[in-house]
Amino acid sequence: MDMPIDMQHQAMGYDRTATMFSPEGHLLQVEYAEKMVRLGSASIGMTCSDGVFILADKRIKDKLIVENSANKIYEIDSHIIASSAGMVSDARVLIERAQLIAQQNRITYDSPIEPELVIKDISNIKQQFTQYGGARPFGVSLMIAGIKDKKPELYTSDITGNYFAYHANSIGENDEKIKEKLRERHSPELNIKKGVKIALDIFKEIQEKNFNLDQFELAYIKGEEGKIKRVVGDGLKDFIK
């Protein structure tokens, strides 16, 4: 009986380093990291007519954990937020790098950094870890949302270091199912309140009986204000009405 392709790859050592291509042109360590991202809790990001938001499932069910210590959405600068899917410890390293370059930009140029410059820098770091030996790829995807010239922007960086701008996107568990529903329901005319309601409805449809509003965290930035606002728990009920 012939051995399955992935078992052949493992037996021949193609998955022992991120720098070795398999005969089919795959970087197996990178593909393993991509699988890890899909095990992480999901986030939905969306640009709207009046701003941008990220809604994240914190997926923290242990009552012993202090709730405020388990935030899923991070502040990069006063006008930029980010969420991750995958290995949280890997995300922390990249988030701290993003915060650093945002502050360096303010000190050097006396102006807020553009969201795309942040995601580009992070993506360059992630790409390096698919090219050089001695380290594994970052097991995390990052979603970054922000305001540039009062206009909303949303970017996502994958394991390989590629990044794209999106009108709406999802990372983490069930991301493909969520994206299908976003393609059907997203519209540029949506405001933040309606967009968040759509995102919550999608999570409710996907998670079914496991859906719990208290497990979600929302952060949004309005284009005119350019400041981050956070909503958790009962505060999200206002967006369901």
How far, rounded to the nearest angstrom, does the alpha carbon of residue 15 sit from its chain's CA centroid? 26
Query: Does any domain span residue 14?
Result: no
> Whole domain around residue 65: which residue ranges?
42-236
Give yes or no for residue 8 having a pLDDT over 70. no
CA dist 95 and 111 (Å) reads 20
Q: 196 vs 45, 73, 80, 206, 218, CA distance in Å? A: 9, 15, 18, 15, 8
pLDDT, tens digit (0-9, with 9 covering 90-100), for 77-100: 999 999 999 999 999 999 999 999
Total-model pTM:
0.90
- Indicate the number of domains in the chain: 1
Query: Does any domain span residue 110?
Result: yes
**CATH number, residue 106:** 3.60.20.10
pLDDT, tens digit (0-9, with 9 covering 90-100), for 16-51: 777 778 778 878 888 888 999 999 999 999 999 999
